[in-house]
Structure 1
Amino acid sequence: MHHILLVEDDMSLANWVSEYLTEQGFTVTHKARGDEVLDVILNTPIDLVLLDVMLPGLNGIEVCRAIRQHKSLPIIMLTARADEFDEVIGLEAGADDYVIKPVRPRALLARINRQLTNKQLNTPPDNKLTFGELVINQEAKRVTYQGEEIELSTSLFSFLTFLAEHAGTVVDRDSVFKALKKREYDGQDRRFDVMLSTLRKVFNDDPQKPQKFKTVWGKGYLFVSDAWQENSTTPKSET
């Protein structure tokens, strides 16, 4: 039985969502304030968070960032208007999806089940990916290399993790966009090319002769799994 944390200050909406999800076999914990969320997250096994954008105490974006400092569980944002929620800011803060009110029960259930399925399929049992001296802790959102912690933005961490999960396999841009941006590649957006360059700088991977992160012309990106043992210069934290 999955445990969902619902953070919503509209009591009428919170009551019917809680009742509906309970009928579908979920356990639901409800909080009406953003500043009450982290205590629940740290002390209760939660599988998914339904998080309103406009909340007393802390707004949904601030709460989302706070959760991401500790947990990698799925977060679906709830917003009353499309223009109230900036998709880029929300996803950069760590949200996995968002739903515009009024919430349709079956559509919400489909979104929840998709995120829970993705979590089960994509998260390794120990929540860690290890390649030589590189360790990616997905649960704690931490990266260490050669014994030192590397600070990365949420978007860079997600990109690095996705590449590492597909180590040794060339992943095309469309797959990256669908997995991380929930949309298809438009043929022009170069954000992940820029992010790959940033990762090379952080891990001192020579852009002229890259060993760790390679770009395969006409195909996509390649994370090289056996390139993380050398004694190179201490990597730089992202600025």
Structure 2
Amino acid sequence: MLANSDTTILIVDDEERIRRLLKLYLTKEGYASEEAADGVSAIRKMEEKDYDMVLLDIMLPEIDGLEVIKEIRKIKDTPIIMITARGDEGQRVEGFQAGADDYIVKPFSPREVMLRVAAILKRTKIEEPETIIISYPELDIFPESRLVLAGGEPLTLTPKEFDLILYLAENPEKVFTREMLLKEVWRYDYFGDLRTVDTHIKRLREKLQKKSLYVSKMIVTVWGTGYKFSPLETDYQKNNEIEN
């Protein structure tokens, strides 16, 4: 049995030659794959089956890829890699806002696609031999099961959102620039818009705030630099509020 044969990836593209090319390389790497030629078919397949990843073209007939991402995120946290045209920076930002985890620009190198697929799957597969808990007031993170509890309630996070809060929580009070977060959280050379970090931070805060305003304030913006995870600063603010 091939090493990756238990991993199934959904390829969504209206160009048959692109689907064939991606399927060929996925097969060479040992992955199973299925195909959808349009957004409606992709959503239907996602409703019927759990996939390990989706390779999604943004330019699709009937329902475009951005709408597909939004619909998928209503039901699944499956990792999504967008496939976009070179100049579509606005679409990439919209895709991240909708819940995509990464993007690839056409024309792409199939080998690059495989490296990005492997990198994301490596982080989403459970690899830890033991349960390790990272705990702060009102926040518990379980790396093995990739579970986050805020205010005692589970959060629904995309793989990239989980990687981001885990990395920040593992490095409390350390200030990270956007470039540093792209390098450390995305784990490979990322030639993307730095707003990618801002988008993920914004979405993560919004999700945390629905469960615990206290925890959402732990992710602190360091103006002119980047971000830090600061439970100490949050505790100080909370104590002052109580005293006042």
Is 1:222 aligned to 2:229, yes or no?
A: yes
Matched residue of 2:100: which SS? coil
Q: Please point out which of 33, 43, 46 is paired with 1:41.
A: 46
Q: What is the letter of the counterpart of residue 172 of structure 1?
A: F
Between 1:33-42 and 1:115-124, the stretch displaced more is 115-124
* Superposed CA offset, 1:149-193 (max 9, x none): 8899999888656534x264635224334437946998xx9958x
Q: Please point out which of 20, 26, 43 is paired with 1:21.
A: 26
Higher helix fraction (1 or 2): 2
Where structure 2 has 5 or more consecutive residues not aligned to the other structure, the ranges are 240-244
* Superposed CA offset, 1:59-92 (max 9, x none): 1111112222333332111124423763221222
Determine if contact 1:5/1:31 at 8 Å carries over to the other structure.
Answer: yes
Q: 1:94 to 1:101 in 2, by over 3 A?
A: same
Aligned length: 220
* Superposed CA offset, 1:82-119 (max 9, x none): 23763221222222222222332222222221222232
Q: 1:121 to 1:176 in 2, by over 3 A?
A: farther
Matched residue of 1:19: which SS? helix
Is 1:68 aligned to 2:64, yes or no?
A: no
Where structure 1 has 5 or more consecutive residues not aligned to the other structure, the ranges are 233-239
Is 1:170 aligned to 2:162, yes or no?
A: no
Is 1:108 aligned to 2:117, yes or no?
A: no
Matched residue of 1:69: which SS? helix
Between 1:73-82 and 1:128-137, the stretch displaced more is 128-137
Query: Residue 16 of structure 2 corresponds to which residue in structure 1?
Result: 11
Q: What is the letter of the counterpart of residue 118 of structure 2?
A: N
Aligned counterparts, 1:78-97, within 5 A: 78-83=83-88, 86-97=91-102
Is 1:30 aligned to 2:35, yes or no?
A: yes
Aligned counterparts, 1:137-156, within 5 A: 145-146=150-151
Q: What is the letter of the counterpart of residue 101 of structure 1?
A: K
Q: 1:120 to 1:183 in 2, by over 3 A?
A: farther
Q: 1:155 to 1:75 in 2, by over 3 A?
A: closer
Determine if contact 1:134/1:143 at 8 Å carries over to the other structure.
Answer: yes
Q: 1:131 to 1:11 in 2, by over 3 A?
A: same
Distance 1:85 1:184 in 2: 12
Distance 1:129 1:70 in 2: 27
Distance 2:44 2:52 in 1: 15
Matched residue of 1:77: which SS? strand
Determine if contact 1:94/1:154 at 8 Å carries over to the other structure.
Answer: no
Between 1:167-176 and 1:49-58, the stretch displaced more is 167-176
Q: What is the letter of the counterpart of residue 106 of structure 2?
A: K
Determine if contact 1:163/1:223 at 8 Å carries over to the other structure.
Answer: no
Distance 2:197 2:81 in 1: 26
Distance 1:81 1:26 in 2: 27
Q: Please point out which of 56, 59, 68 is paired with 1:54.
A: 59
